[in-house]
Amino acid sequence: MTRHIFVTGGVVSSLGKGLTSASLALLMMKRGYRVALQKLDPYLNVDPGTMSPFQHGEVYVTDDGAETDLDLGHYERFTGLGCSRKSNYTTGRIYSELIARERAGDFLGQTVQVIPHVTDAIKNAIRLLDADDVDIAITEIGGTVGDIESLPYLEAIRQYRQEIGRDNGLFIHLTLVPYIKAAGEMKTKPSQQSVGLLRNIGIFPDVLICRCERAMKREHREKLALFCNVDRELVIEERDVRHSIYEVPVELARQDVDVYILEKLGLHVHRLDMEQWHDMLRRLLRPQHGDVEIAVVGKYISHQDAYKSVYEALTHGGIANDMRVKIRGIESEQIEQAGCRTLLDGVSGILVPGGFGDRGIDGKIAAIRYARENKVPFFGICLGMQCAVMEFARHVVGLAGANSAEFDPQTTHPVIDLMCEQKQVANLGGTMRLGGFPCRLTANSRSHSAYGREETRERHRHRYELNNAYRDRLAENGMTVTGEFIEGQLAEVIELADHPWFVGCQFHPEFQSTPLDAHPLFREFIAAAMIHAKGALNAACARPSDASAAQDHRSYP
Ligand code: GLN
């Protein structure tokens, strides 16, 4: 029988419920249990696919083509488990499915209501995790307790736990214990009030996980235990981690939270095997080969979650190479004003991630040209790959004004064009080319040697593609297609032969990278950046009398 853990959040949003859920899932797995994760989001969009990254951060794409919340990225990265459409429900999706059923006559004669119909639909979504191969299901409720829109979810999980029996379900409440500087004290009152709100609706949390900046004292734990009706050992501290989110599971395990949870659920406490995880943390926190700096040239840089998976995958590439990756985030519009020399000087690799719309495109193209001409390792993802094709067509092939039809539908040289299957699309939600598709790699290419195999499967989210009418002209000038969709002539990877490492891919490799198993393209990109950094250092050493070289030397200690 599947046991259920429900994670709610209190006091404020952005406490890291996703990271905490992912960390707990990892600990349960490392104690030998089979786990599934799910996020329920209380907003009315059917999925986050139509939201701006400024609103919602990254849209995470699953292999089965769902556009989902970025917390699913944490789930996959921490556990290595694949998420799917059933791993993320929103109020919009629950309602649209319910209303479609009402129109179909499924509820003839009845009044369709929040309780029981919406709550039943939510319970059905949770029940999807009940499976023979799942020992423990973790369901995270988005939003904060006290929000009007969270209420149906809280009622649904209350009912669910009642139905499966107290011993088979557990409520974890993640809350904030702030430090008030002026008073020189930590305050437990907001958490008490948040638990009070939960109790009003019949949920009595079993575990309190307290986000805090400083260590909690015994008196705080005792106070929270007493006023929130939680066992003292189940008031857990989750202090801001010093260096990396991947330390969170270790911090939780240090307090035996996983042991208590398993005991409460009546499950045997097997040995915790975190050896591999600790080894990964050693390479992450104390890398042997120094630092490498990578520029990420995007258009949502100011939003820290907009390129979440890209940043994580770069970190994974560093772990695989035993080096620390420093990221220099650059708004592409700034390049348009300040120029590449000023902003990109000294970086060892340039990555241009995905995106939509023409704002900042000129800056991206300038950054790609800089990478190509100065032989700086370059990695273009989705829109980044498309921009690399545009740049090459304009400046090497000599096709003045070559563009993507996304930015100029009338362009004389649409080197990037709308995919055929997209021409009939009218609705914008969930209609891109989405999810995992197989790709064949050309022998002797950089991508083939990175993957070490001929076929791969990668996730997609796009409407435009490389226009095959231009393939030959690009190839004659040195840009070749080295990865192709197995079932059709669709360019998936492009490379430049005459460059140390210049790779663009139409898919999103960042969604399949984990700290224990870096994505091959990220791993090799960082390896190339490392070689570039060494080359720069050697060049600097070879010119000791040159003052600027001496300066370069200092910048690569
Ligand atoms: N806007 C481009 C397209 O739709 C690229 C999409 C992306 O980068 N995810 O094809």
Q: pTM (2 decimals)?
A: 0.93
Other beta carbons less than 10 A from residue 137's beta carbon: 23
> 76: CA distance to ligand 1 center in Å?
23
* DSSP category for residue 480: E
CB 33 within 8 A of CB 152: no
CA atoms within 13 A on the CB side of 122: 30
Nearest CA to ligand 1 atom 3: 462
Report the share of the chain in percent with pLDDT over 70. Answer: 97
Per-residue pLDDT reduced to its tens digit, 417-446: 999 888 888 888 889 999 999 999 999 999
CB 314 within 8 A of CB 294: yes
Extract the tokens encoding 492: 């998936």
Under the banding of pLDDT at 50, 70 and 90, the label for residue 220 is very high
Average pLDDT, stretch 86-111? 96
Q: Is 463 in the pocket of ligand 1 (CB under 6 A)?
A: yes
Amino acid at 7: V
Extract the tokens encoding 523: 């791993």
Other beta carbons less than 10 A from residue 149's beta carbon: 13
Q: Residue 382 catalytic?
A: yes
Which of 343, 393, 346, 351 has its CA nearest to residue 368?
351
Average pLDDT, stretch 481-508? 95
Nearest CA to ligand 1 atom 5: 383
> 430: CA distance to ligand 1 center in Å?
13
pLDDT value at 21 more than 50: yes
Report the share of the chain in percent with pLDDT over 90. Answer: 87
Q: Residue 510 catalytic?
A: yes
> 184: CA distance to ligand 1 center in Å?
49
Under the banding of pLDDT at 50, 70 and 90, the label for residue 544 is low
Determine the Cα–Cα distance for residues 416 and 495; give it in Å rounded to an integer. Answer: 16
Cis geometry, peptide bond prior to residue 116 (ω within 30 degrees of 0): yes
> Mean pLDDT for the chain?
93
Amino acid at 445: S
Which of 163, 65, 38 has its CA nearest to residue 458?
65
> Which of 83, 340, 382, 387 is the catalytic position?
382
Say if residue 87 is exposed, middle or buried (CB neighbours under 10 Å; 0-12, 13-18, 19+): buried
Average pLDDT, stretch 473-493? 95
Average pLDDT, stretch 7-17? 92
Average pLDDT, stretch 377-404? 97
Q: Residue 188's pLDDT is what?
A: 92
Q: Which atom of ligand 1 is nearest to the CA of 406?
A: 1
Average pLDDT, stretch 404-420? 95
Query: Distance between terminal CA atoms of the chain?
Result: 56
CB 375 within 8 A of CB 484: no
Average pLDDT, stretch 546-552? 40
Q: Residue 210 catalytic?
A: no
Under the banding of pLDDT at 50, 70 and 90, the label for residue 365 is very high
Q: Residue 264's pLDDT is what?
A: 94
Per-residue pLDDT reduced to its tens digit, 130-155: 999 999 999 999 999 999 999 999 99
Q: Is 204 in the pocket of ligand 1 (CB under 6 A)?
A: no
Per-residue pLDDT reduced to its tens digit, 453-471: 999 999 999 999 999 999 9
Determine the Cα–Cα distance for residues 354 and 489; give it in Å rounded to an integer. Answer: 21
> 67: CA distance to ligand 1 center in Å?
14
Other beta carbons less than 10 A from residue 535's beta carbon: 13
The residues pairing with 211 across neighbouring beta strands, listed in sequence order, are: 176, 238
Q: Is 384 in the pocket of ligand 1 (CB under 6 A)?
A: no
